[in-house]
Structure 1
Amino acid sequence: MIILQAQQVARFFGAETLFSGVNLEVQDQGRVGLVGVNGSGKSTLLKIIAGIDPPDEGQVVKNKGLTIGYLAQNSGLDSHNTIIAEMTAVFAALQAMERQLRQLELDLAQHPTDQELLNQYDQLQNRFKLENGYGYEAEIKTVLQGFQFPAETYQKPISSLSGGERSRLALAKILLQRPNLLILDEPTNHLDIETLNWLENYLQSYRGALLIVSHDQYFLDHVTKEIFALEHHSLTHYHGNYSAYLQQRAQNFQTATKAYDQQQAEIKKLETFVEKNITRASTTKRAQARRKQLEKMVRLDKPVDSNQSLHFHFDLTKETGKEVLFVRDLAIGYEDRVMSSPINFAVIKHQRVAIIGPNGVGKSTLVKTLLQQIPALAGSFKFGANVQIGYYDQDQRQLDPQLTVLETIWQEHPLLPEQEIRTVLGSFLFSGDDVQKVVHQLSGGEKARLLLTKLAMEKRNVLLMDEPTNHLDIQSKEVLEQALANFAGTLIFVSHDRYLINSLADRIVDLTPTGSQVYEGNYDFYLEKRQPEIAAVTTTTEISDNQAQFIADKAQQREVRKLERAVSNAEALMNERHQQAEALQQQMAQPAIQADFVKLGDLQKELDQIQAAETAAENDWLLATEALEQGPATN
């Protein structure tokens, strides 16, 4: 059932069109993602759909009685209440009902046979139970704990909290309100990985509909089931999650490009015929017919791939040694507080190492310690030979706010011609008068692109990056991901962007207050290894059919990966033993060995053991292959 429709909606700014002809619908329990480049109008469209701003054209039609919860980007809770008082206020109606029940109980104590009182109490109690009157306090605690507010923080005044904490509380409050349609604009801002995982699980079992704008591709993949893309002033609908959208968009672009190229070839053919034959008496009528055909033809616009607008790569001028970094028993923090200890990990050449952990554990502090911007409290670290570090600072303090974009690059490369610098800046979307903008006038996304420009031009062989995807839109993130994937050096990066971690990392360093844990794989591998631990500490109030299916699917995927690894390992062992057996047989065939019966006997024993191991590996391979073909067992 459709609960909301945007019909032919438009927004104009003077003579400029932000978007027009927008049609969007949300189904009951729909899971809708809205994506587009920065400035395309996503937040503006959400405000129109939420009823905050009217459209310039078109209308938004809602079901009668539809309740909408809207959370603006970076909006924080503004209240003089304590945390627990503000969250409890959401359930004021239930609290009033509870007081009414207590009063009825007192009345019944005095008049136990009053049928009217008994009926009133029974009806109110059933309603109280249906609306979760006996469970709302537990629900508040579950949500607050999910957003990293433990019981000892409940009495804190909200006015004393940081901006990030108030943003998390605003999201917690709107979840507790449980509207029929939840509209969230960048809800993953200010959330660490642990909280993101909790929020995903919560939203997967949410009973209402979701409409979400997010730059977090991993989040969109796990929460949404359809995508609306705001591109080129119009809205296009795609079925499936974000990854499915990327595939469909690429296919659509190829189809549109092929159609455009075919039409251009047809146009050229017709124009050539007209040009050659219009003046000939014998062919002029046919040429005139072709010209009319050209005039009536509906010309296709040349397809534009928004991903191609930003394009860059990271080069290096010098190779490092094999060993890039050793960290041993490192303690990080400040004089009055140790944030994490002991930290142990190593980085070798060409690795992509992701550093993750909860907010406040010291991920950025670790980076600054490695850069010797702040001293280590204990332990040691050492970089290898020929290491040249290129640093990306999430706080963007490497930029002088008084310089222009052009001056920022030119002062570090004074011998380069201005046109060459402008060309480089153009590949990072700084063109024309943009290069004369002063840094303090730039948006967060523009500053991020300028930092990436600086980093790309340094040509360092080790990139040390602190939250490189902050401030970037999804398309820019994709280009950055590709540039880092193609980087020939070593990458060490702090990130809460699970999509980036999953795509790039081959080693994860998980920081906690009590030290570090290293996982040899990407983010999915990390989750798989952490799953037993997560299951042991996770408390849920209710699991829907959808969430249960999601959990079952994840378990099945893990089992498939386990079987695939078993097949691969057994196959590798078979090949290794086979090669060893062949090498031994060649050795045994040598005349000198043939004449030495003792040596020949020893080699035969070794050959028998290797061939037995090869047979065992082959049996393991057959069993694993058969199990994989049959599919993992499901309960």
Structure 2
Amino acid sequence: TMGDDMKLINEYTQALMRFDDKGFYQIEEQIERELDNFQLPGVAHRAFSTLSGGQKRLVEVVKVMHSDAHLALVDEPTNHMDYIAKAQYVEWMKTAREAMLVITHDRDVLNEVDRIIELKDGDSVSYKGNYDAYLKQNAVSTGSKMNDFEMVEKRIVNLKAKVIDYQRLKEKSRNPGTIQKFKRLEETSRKELGELQAKEKPTFWIDKESAANLNYKVAAQYDKFKAKNIRMNLKNDESRSKHVLVSARDISLGYGDKPLFEGANIDLREGEALELRGRNGAGKTTLIKFLLQGLALQNENEITKFAGELSLDSHVRIGVYEQEVSPTYFDLPLEAAIERMYLDRNLSISISKIRNLLNDYLFNEGDGKTPVSRLSGGQKARFQLISMLANDPQLLILDEPTNHLDLPSIEELETALAKYAGAVIYVSHDGYFRHALGGDVLQIGAK
């Protein structure tokens, strides 16, 4: 009937108004714009199964951003993001209505949270505030924990002495009652001693800036008890010359007949740092590959030089940190992988040197027997550091070195690079790392 038709038309009109009020007409355009910002143009109409692992992760982040959920759970969201995509994610995180639980080592993200929960030594500690606040609170709480640990250490020494005393008194005594008394005291002391010795030593770490401001007593405690960190053997020989290692004049590179970028200029000497900055796909990795190849090959899949000149000192020793471990080492135990990596480069290596390297980079004996493919992301990152420094390089090339390192290891890397006398070319979307390393910036492609 006419009345029923009017009722349906009215309901449909109301539904369209609600649809419009919720912004659903604009949501497809908005999502496509965000996919484009995350450098995923054209994926909106592709099957999810056809995307790469990194692309899938970014799509999942966009999905969370539009879920309108009460709680967002996000695991390492920025690992595959460039600096523009990360800035967009951080801006959303700051303004989102959702409660959010983020798993991350990214200090740019950590500095925008309201609370940090640190998982360490089989326990969790909650710190109110962002990353900067965490560093201050961590310094105070670590000082308190070191006091507690020092008391435990003194108690262990005291109990060991008591056990010896009770043993001696028990052996000297002739009275059965007295013997039983000292036996009970010895057993009680042994039990407490065993319980204290069974506890693992806590992990004590204070950031470099906070550690520099500790009072004398706490600083002495920290030097005594601080957690073992990776030990990087980076040469800082200031006698090295400051001649040009890398030179580029108006270089333009790409693939096939399509340039990725144009007009890049480099003049890099020992002791200097150069950041390659650009969006994912702008050509940063292409420039590094071309630099290492020396000349573009004729294969259609190889890099094409369209204009300009790029030269590398033919005698310079180069160390490269790559995000992915070479498949050559996947099936080898870590010890054998280190040996193979050295021998492949005609570098001398011995069993004792392998053991020292494992110790310097926080690997235990069991890790040395573990196939590289089964190592954690952080362990693979430390293997890449060993590989990078194997030949005492004069030029380091770093591609996102902080992605899988924990905070103490990142700080050690920054400290070592600050003292390094060679040259550094690096790609990083970690704002803290870029600030620490500094140097000139070469913009690759559009900003």
Aligned to 1:231: 120
After superposition, the C-alpha distances for 1:591-627 in whole angstroms (9 at most, x for unaligned) are xxxxxxxxxxxxxxxxxxxxxxxxxxxxxxxxxxxxx
Aligned to 1:449: 382
**367-376 or 355-364, which deviates more:** 367-376
Select the residue among 220, 231, 244 that pairs with 1:312.
231
Query: What is the Cα deviation at residue 200 of structure 1?
Result: 1.0
Aligned to 1:472: 405
C-alpha distance in structure 1 between counterparts of 2:152 and 2:329, whole Å: 50
- Contact preservation (8 Å) 1:320, 1:387: no
Select the residue among 356, 370, 376 that pairs with 2:291.
370
Aligned to 1:144: 35
Aligned to 1:169: 59
Letter in 2 for 1:358: R
Query: What is the Cα deviation at residue 209 of structure 1?
Result: 0.9
Q: For residues 339 and 221 of structure 1, do their structure 2 counterparts lie closer, same or farther at Cα, with a shift above 3 Å needed?
A: same
Aligned to 1:46: none
Q: For residues 416 and 161 of structure 1, do their structure 2 counterparts lie closer, same or farther at Cα, with a shift above 3 Å needed?
A: closer
- Identity within the alignment, %: 29
After superposition, the C-alpha distances for 1:287-343 in whole angstroms (9 at most, x for unaligned) are 98x989978899595432378344121323772424332221111222333211111
Question: What is the correspondence of 1:275-290 to structure 2 with a 5 Å cutoff?
Answer: none
After superposition, the C-alpha distances for 1:159-192 in whole angstroms (9 at most, x for unaligned) are 5544433332232223222111111112123222
After superposition, the C-alpha distances for 1:405-451 in whole angstroms (9 at most, x for unaligned) are 22333352675441232121122233224323344444444333222
Query: What is the Cα deviation at residue 230 of structure 1?
Result: 1.4
Give the SS at the match of 2:259: strand
Query: What is the Cα deviation at residue 397 of structure 1?
Result: 2.6
| 1:256 and 2:145 are equivalent in the alignment | yes
Which one has the largest radius of gyration?
1
- Contact preservation (8 Å) 2:319, 2:387: no
Aligned to 1:387: 316
Select the residue among 281, 285, 299 that pairs with 1:360.
281
| 1:432 and 2:385 are equivalent in the alignment | no
Give the SS at the match of 2:87: helix
Select the residue among 211, 214, 239 that pairs with 2:104.
214
Aligned to 1:59: none
Give the SS at the match of 1:457: coil
Q: For residues 273 and 137 of structure 1, do their structure 2 counterparts lie closer, same or farther at Cα, with a shift above 3 Å needed?
A: closer
Question: What is the correspondence of 1:178-577 to structure 2 with a 5 Å cutoff?
Answer: 178-222=68-112, 224-265=113-154, 268=157, 302-305=201-204, 308-316=227-235, 319-372=240-293, 375=296, 376-383=305-312, 387-397=316-326, 399-411=328-340, 412=342, 415-512=348-445
C-alpha distance in structure 2 between counterparts of 1:379 and 1:452, whole Å: 32
After superposition, the C-alpha distances for 1:18-47 in whole angstroms (9 at most, x for unaligned) are xxxxxxxxxxxxxxxxxxxxxxxxxxxxxx
Q: For residues 125 and 467 of structure 1, do their structure 2 counterparts lie closer, same or farther at Cα, with a shift above 3 Å needed?
A: closer
Q: For residues 397 and 234 of structure 1, do their structure 2 counterparts lie closer, same or farther at Cα, with a shift above 3 Å needed?
A: same
Ranked by relative contact order (alpha carbons within 8 Å, sequence separation 6 or more), the top structure is 2
- Contact preservation (8 Å) 1:313, 1:484: no
Letter in 2 for 1:380: E
- Contact preservation (8 Å) 1:321, 1:386: no
Aligned to 2:218: none
C-alpha distance in structure 1 between counterparts of 2:266 and 2:348, whole Å: 40
Q: For residues 132 and 473 of structure 1, do their structure 2 counterparts lie closer, same or farther at Cα, with a shift above 3 Å needed?
A: same
- Contact preservation (8 Å) 1:221, 1:241: yes
C-alpha distance in structure 2 between counterparts of 1:155 and 1:266, whole Å: 67
Q: How many positions carry a matched residue from both structures?
A: 398
**270-279 or 493-502, which deviates more:** 270-279
- Contact preservation (8 Å) 2:75, 2:103: yes
- Contact preservation (8 Å) 1:329, 1:344: yes
Letter in 2 for 1:237: S
Letter in 1 for 2:429: H
Q: For residues 261 and 441 of structure 1, do their structure 2 counterparts lie closer, same or farther at Cα, with a shift above 3 Å needed?
A: closer
C-alpha distance in structure 2 between counterparts of 1:159 and 1:273, whole Å: 67
Q: For residues 244 and 489 of structure 1, do their structure 2 counterparts lie closer, same or farther at Cα, with a shift above 3 Å needed?
A: farther
Structure 2 residues not aligned, in runs of 5+: 206-225, 297-304
- Contact preservation (8 Å) 1:399, 1:451: no
C-alpha distance in structure 2 between counterparts of 1:401 and 1:293, whole Å: 51
Q: For residues 267 and 437 of structure 1, do their structure 2 counterparts lie closer, same or farther at Cα, with a shift above 3 Å needed?
A: closer
C-alpha distance in structure 2 between counterparts of 1:461 and 1:178, whole Å: 51
Query: What is the Cα deviation at residue 260 of structure 1?
Result: 2.1
- Contact preservation (8 Å) 2:252, 2:259: yes
**488-497 or 475-484, which deviates more:** 475-484
Query: What is the Cα deviation at residue 351 of structure 1?
Result: 2.2
Question: What is the correspondence of 1:42-191 to structure 2 with a 5 Å cutoff?
Answer: 127-128=18-19, 130-133=21-24, 135-150=26-41, 154-156=44-46, 158=48, 160-191=50-81
- Contact preservation (8 Å) 1:330, 1:341: yes
Structure 1 residues not aligned, in runs of 5+: 1-106, 514-529, 531-635
Q: For residues 396 and 134 of structure 1, do their structure 2 counterparts lie closer, same or farther at Cα, with a shift above 3 Å needed?
A: closer
Q: For residues 183 and 326 of structure 1, do their structure 2 counterparts lie closer, same or farther at Cα, with a shift above 3 Å needed?
A: same
TM-score (structure 1 length as normaliser): 0.54
Letter in 2 for 1:494: V
Query: What is the Cα deviation at residue 399 of structure 1?
Result: 4.5
Q: For residues 381 and 445 of structure 1, do their structure 2 counterparts lie closer, same or farther at Cα, with a shift above 3 Å needed?
A: same
Q: For residues 225 and 343 of structure 1, do their structure 2 counterparts lie closer, same or farther at Cα, with a shift above 3 Å needed?
A: same
- Contact preservation (8 Å) 1:355, 1:508: yes
C-alpha distance in structure 2 between counterparts of 1:363 and 1:237, whole Å: 39
